Amino acid sequence: MIPGNPGSIAGIRVVELGQLLAGPFCGQLLGDLGADVIKVEPPGKGDPMREWGQGEEKVQWEVIARNKRSVTCNLRVPEGQALARRLILTADVLVENFKPGTLEKWGLAPDDLLKEKPGLIIARMSGYGQDGPYSDRAGFGGVGEAMGGWRYVVGEPDRPPSRMGISIGDTLCATYGCMGILAALHHRDRTGEGQVIDTALYEAVLQVMEGLVAEYDYNGIIRERSGSILPGIAPSNVYTCRDGPFMIGANKDAIFVRLARAMGQPELAEDERYATHLARGRNQTELDSLINAWTSGHTIEEVDALMIEHSIPAGRVYTAADMLADPHFAARKAIVEVETQERGKIRMQNAFPKFSKTPSSIRRPAPAHPGQDNEEIYGGLLGMEPDEIARLATQGIV
């Protein structure tokens, strides 16, 4: 264990079923907040996330499985299902991201679990939700991003829809699932009642689509792909310096006046083509070209210094290398060094958000192998005898 504050939801036990991203990322968030997260993996290779990520040595698991204990359990056989049920009934929260109907098929239907433990909170994550005509379809994050409207608006207007370089649909679904769990814990504190939380990948994406639906419903406007800009919001773009890209956001009138001064072209702020928010939006392409012509004559450091001097929202476009070298990341402890069990020290993003009284922390590195904590949990928590655990292992149940 890594010493640290126990966190704001210390004492809450979470059983995490499911694999890959949505369920496990929800478990990561809860673990960072202080929950005791018991990760259930299939015997053998465990969660496929152990083999995900870039580079020859896969380290994404070290992030998503931190603050978790691992047990193995074959959920596809009756004795494994019965064991999982015993474990779930010791918990406050169950997190799962299987295809709808899977828990029911395994004899772990939420209604039945709630009859045995009325205070249990069950967070279910799936592609399309637990009901509706699409609920029985297989759904991954990318499909949810497409259905929720994200993919259509991402990319250049003359090219097919693009994607972010991360699995944003899964992590959004997990984040809303975590938010739902915290709200359900508050409700349980007042009433003693547990409940089921139903989060769908496509609906999680839909929640962050701003006015996309309302703009079409009221104005008949379908948002299109616009590359690196938001149409009508200018200047707000990534511009090219001598040594790389640089982001400037100066679309507010007063800020644009300061930008024009920083560029040594104060007359731009008086020009009727750029003097107001609406005018700049109409002449966005031309204005971006003017700014890019200016930035291309300077280094990132030179432009950055001018933006700071004139109080203009702007900044470098960071890579991971930039983050590790930046003093602000260091001062805020946004990135921390974790001693992992098999790969030594690895730097990764810290627990977030920050709390003044009950700070979150990374208290435990990711389990090195599936079932690492079988004896501790099955023996200590469930009171099973060593020979019984050994028998289950021999039979491939754990």
* Residues with a known catalytic role: 170
Q: What one-character-per-residue DSSP string does 151-198 give?
A: HHHSS-TTS-----SS-HHHHHHHHHHHHHHHHHHHHHHHH---EEEE
Beta-strand pair 236-241/314-316: unpaired
DSSP letter, residue 362: -
- As a whole number of angstroms, the distance between CA 342 and CA 195 comes to 38
- As a whole number of angstroms, the distance between CA 143 and CA 161 comes to 12
Q: How distant, in Å, are the alpha carbons of 31, 67, 338, 371 from that of 368?
A: 17, 12, 13, 9
- Provide, for the chain, the percentages of residues in helix, strand and coil under a 3-state DSSP scheme, each rounded to the nearest 5: 40, 15, 45
Identity of residue 73: C
Q: Are 58 and 5 spatial neighbours (Cβ–Cβ below 8 Å)? A: no
CA atoms lying within 13 Å on the CB side of residue 56:
0
Find where tokens 């907040």 sit: 33
Q: Are 7 and 35 spatial neighbours (Cβ–Cβ below 8 Å)? A: yes
Q: Quick one: CA torsion of 75, 76, 80, 83, rounded to 10 degrees?
A: 50
Chain centroid to CA 34: 17
Q: Which of 129, 123, 168, 176 has its CA nearest to residue 149?
A: 168
Find where tokens 């030594």 sit: 344
Length of the chain: 398
DSSP letter, residue 109: -
The two structure tokens encoding residue 69: 């204990």
DSSP letter, residue 367: P
Give the bridge partners for 314, in sequence order.
Answer: 248
Task: Name the helix (H) or strand (E) containing 64.
Answer: helix 60-64
